[in-house]
């Protein structure tokens, strides 16, 4: 269609005349598919005929399949920002001016952010060129026109296509408060008829940790299977006394894992869908605990001993009864997990076979991921709610006090550990076991306090429950 044949709407022609804007340029813009309203807006905004001529000529060249020469400074900035080679040309073809491309680069837009803007413009162009039938079909299929961000493209990196890599554009905006009580995943369009699901955690500070998505990937990538990963056939029995002591340690670890698994299950349903990184990571934590229950139960049975005596579980009750997720997380992933790593260290140190060593090494890998979440969450929480610092101390105080009570009143586990570390029931062996248990407990307290310091609570060292202070100095020599 020749440009002369294009009819300029009367109101647009009037605006052009009032602003001394050549009608020939208006016709050329219409021929390119630009909407009359968009042309009118540009004229009212004060675009000069010269600027319009430059932009329209550029668009005509692009539509004719030619490339536009990109100024060297823009090309250099695009390379520096690692934009794909054709993105500048795509942006121009989508109707962005060279000045707008320059502004995007100067604003520091990454290639994925810039590409999303380009995609939005490309879609707008497509809509302008729709036939009436196409437009009607689009309007009938309303679900295809939700106001979510479409056109987002993510690329696999060295680790594959990870959960964290999906947090681009509007999907990367993780709000401080999640306003929906429904099952709506973050980034979807809200359905007004959806029922409330009764979650209780809607505030980011109450559960967030910046490493949650990475820990989820790490957890599923590094998972292991107790049935086949452990060389069960090659694990010869220990002397009977030590085998019983090991079974007692395994019994404790089974019990602890079951309690923690219950706790995770209880809290998962409280977390709203706005923070799915934490929810899915916690799902893997629940699986870690199931695996620990499984592997330690198998080890207790392996050489004909079976389960030992139940622990009273006083301090685990504190974790189970916690009323706030941050309280739960701090007690479970910093206090309790530090203790579990300490027990696994004793298990590893006393392992007589590669199979035993492997069980404890793999369990420690899982547990150390949990401390990473616990530390980062507490740090995030305290940065946003510094007024809650004393509250956290009170939680720790209660857990430490009940641990002390349990450790003092029920000597089942400490005695089993002494037998394991000493290598038997003789007087000298028990003496050695006692000394080594104290050595490992000093390491435990050191690491526990270092983790709290990393979370932003270095002062806990001075406020440790008195019973635990007996192990707080620097560890003595192990052998």
Partner 1 sequence: MSQETATVRATFPSLEWFQALKDIVNGQEAYRRIGICDTTMGIKIPDLQKFYVVTFEAFEVADVKEATEEEVEDCDFWLEAPYARWKEMLENIKANGKADLHHTLNTLDLEDPEGFARSHDGLRRDAFYRFNQSLQFFFDASSAIDTVFLQQGT
The footprint of partner 1 (CB under 8 A) covers: 157-159, 214, 217-218, 221-223, 341, 345, 348-349, 351-354, 357, 361-362, 364-365, 367-369, 371-372, 375-376, 439-440, 443, 447, 449-455, 474-479
In 3D space, the residue among 328, 403, 340 whose CA is nearest the CA of residue 373 turns out to be 328
By C-beta, is 116 or 369 nearer to partner 1?
369
User: Within the chain, what is the greatest distance between any pair of CA atoms?
Assistant: 109
By C-beta, is 425 or 454 nearer to partner 1?
454
**Residue 285 DSSP code:** H
Q: Report whether 92 contacts 58 (CB < 8 A).
A: yes
By C-beta, is 29 or 396 nearer to partner 1?
396
Question: Minimum distance between the CB of residue 365 and partner 1, rounded to whole angstroms?
Answer: 6
By C-beta, is 244 or 451 nearer to partner 1?
451
Question: Minimum distance between the CB of residue 345 and partner 1, rounded to whole angstroms?
Answer: 6
Instruction: State which H helix or E strand residue 438 sits in.
Output: helix 427-454
By C-beta, is 88 or 364 nearer to partner 1?
364
Question: Minimum distance between the CB of residue 77 and partner 1, rounded to whole angstroms?
Answer: 28
Rounded to the nearest 5 degrees, what angle is found at the Cα of 180, between the Cα atoms of 177 and 182?
Answer: 140
By C-beta, is 358 or 419 nearer to partner 1?
358
- Phi then psi for residue 95, to 5 deg, are 105, 5
Question: Minimum distance between the CB of residue 275 and partner 1, rounded to whole angstroms?
Answer: 21
Question: Minimum distance between the CB of residue 449 and partner 1, rounded to whole angstroms?
Answer: 8
By C-beta, is 279 or 369 nearer to partner 1?
369
Q: How many CB atoms lie within 10 A of CB 122?
A: 17
Q: Report whether 9 contacts 39 (CB < 8 A).
A: no
Question: Minimum distance between the CB of residue 229 and partner 1, rounded to whole angstroms?
Answer: 10
* 3-class DSSP state of 203: strand
By C-beta, is 184 or 421 nearer to partner 1?
421
- Phi then psi for residue 201, to 5 deg, are -110, 110
Q: Report whether 333 contacts 371 (CB < 8 A).
A: yes
> Distance between terminal CA atoms of the chain?
93
Burial 254-272 (b: 16+ CB within 10 A, else e): bbbbbbbbebbeebeeebb
Question: Minimum distance between the CB of residue 194 and partner 1, rounded to whole angstroms?
Answer: 36
By C-beta, is 184 or 331 nearer to partner 1?
331
* 3-class DSSP state of 244: helix
Q: Report whether 328 contacts 322 (CB < 8 A).
A: yes
Instruction: Give the ranges where 210-272 is alpha helix by DSSP (H).
Output: 212-221, 226-229, 240-268
Question: Minimum distance between the CB of residue 378 and partner 1, rounded to whole angstroms?
Answer: 10
Question: What span, in angstroms and rounded, lies between the C-alpha atoms of 458 and 443?
Answer: 17
By C-beta, is 53 or 447 nearer to partner 1?
447
Question: Minimum distance between the CB of residue 176 and partner 1, rounded to whole angstroms?
Answer: 23
Q: What DSSP assignment string belongs to 379-391?
A: HHHHHH-GGGHHH
By C-beta, is 39 or 399 nearer to partner 1?
399
Question: What span, in angstroms and rounded, lies between the C-alpha atoms of 16 and 10?
Answer: 10
Question: Minimum distance between the CB of residue 368 and partner 1, rounded to whole angstroms?
Answer: 4
Question: Minimum distance between the CB of residue 95 and partner 1, rounded to whole angstroms?
Answer: 39
Q: What DSSP assignment string belongs to 289-352?
A: HHHHHHHHHHHHHHTT----PPP--HHHHHHHH-SSHHHHHIIIIIIIHHHHHHHHHHHHHT--
């Amino acid at each position: 269609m020749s440009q002369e044949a294009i009819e300029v709407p009367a109101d647009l022609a009037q605006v052009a005349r009032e602003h001394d804007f050549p009608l020939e340029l208006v016709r050329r813009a219409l021929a390119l598919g630009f909407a009359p309203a968009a042309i009118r807006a540009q004229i009212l905004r004060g675009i000069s005929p010269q600027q319009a001529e430059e932009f329209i000529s550029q668009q005509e060249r692009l539509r004719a399949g030619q490339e536009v020469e990109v100024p060297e400074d823009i090309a250099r900035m695009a390379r520096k920002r690692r934009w794909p080679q054709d993105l500048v040309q795509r942006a121009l073809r989508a109707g962005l001016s060279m000045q707008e491309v320059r502004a995007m680069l100067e604003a520091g837009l990454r290639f994925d952010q810039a590409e999303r803007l380009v995609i939005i413009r490309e879609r707008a162009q497509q809509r302008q060129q729709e036939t009436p039938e196409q437009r009607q079909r689009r309007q009938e299929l309303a679900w295809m026109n939700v106001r979510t961000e479409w056109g987002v493209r993510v690329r696999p990196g060295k680790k594959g296509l990870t959960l964290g890599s999906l947090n681009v554009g509007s999907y990367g905006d993780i709000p401080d408060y999640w306003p929906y009580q429904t099952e709506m995943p973050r980034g979807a369009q809200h359905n007004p008829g959806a029922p409330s699901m009764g979650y209780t955690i809607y505030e980011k500070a109450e559960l967030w940790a910046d490493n949650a998505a990475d820990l989820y990937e790490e957890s599923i990538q590094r998972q292991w299977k107790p049935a086949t990963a452990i060389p069960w056939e090659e694990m010869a029995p220990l002397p009977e006394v030590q085998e019983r002591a090991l079974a007692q340690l395994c019994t404790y670890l089974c019990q602890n894992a079951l309690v923690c698994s219950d706790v995770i299950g209880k809290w998962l349903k409280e977390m709203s869908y706005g923070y799915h990184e934490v929810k899915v990571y916690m799902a893997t934590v629940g699986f870690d605990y199931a695996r620990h229950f499984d592997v330690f139960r198998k080890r207790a049975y392996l050489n004909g001993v079976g389960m030992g005596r139940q622990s009273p579980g006083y301090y685990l009750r504190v974790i189970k009864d916690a009323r706030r997720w941050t309280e739960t997380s701090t007690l479970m992933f910093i206090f309790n997990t530090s203790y579990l790593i300490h027990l696994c260290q004793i298990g590893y140190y006393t392992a007589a076979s590669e199979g035993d060593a492997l069980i404890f090494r793999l369990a420690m890998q899982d547990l150390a991921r949990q401390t990473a979440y616990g530390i980062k969450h507490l740090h995030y929480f305290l940065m946003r709610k510094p007024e809650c610092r004393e509250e956290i101390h009170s939680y720790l105080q209660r857990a430490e006090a009940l641990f002390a009570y349990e450790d003092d009143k029920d000597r089942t586990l400490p005695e089993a550990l002494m037998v394991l570390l000493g290598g038997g029931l003789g007087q000298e062996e028990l003496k050695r076991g006692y000394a080594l248990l104290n050595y490992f407990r000093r390491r435990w307290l050191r690491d526990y306090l270092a983790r709290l310091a990393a979370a932003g609570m270095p002062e806990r060292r001075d406020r440790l429950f008195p019973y635990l202070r007996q192990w707080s100095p620097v560890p003595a020599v192990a052998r």
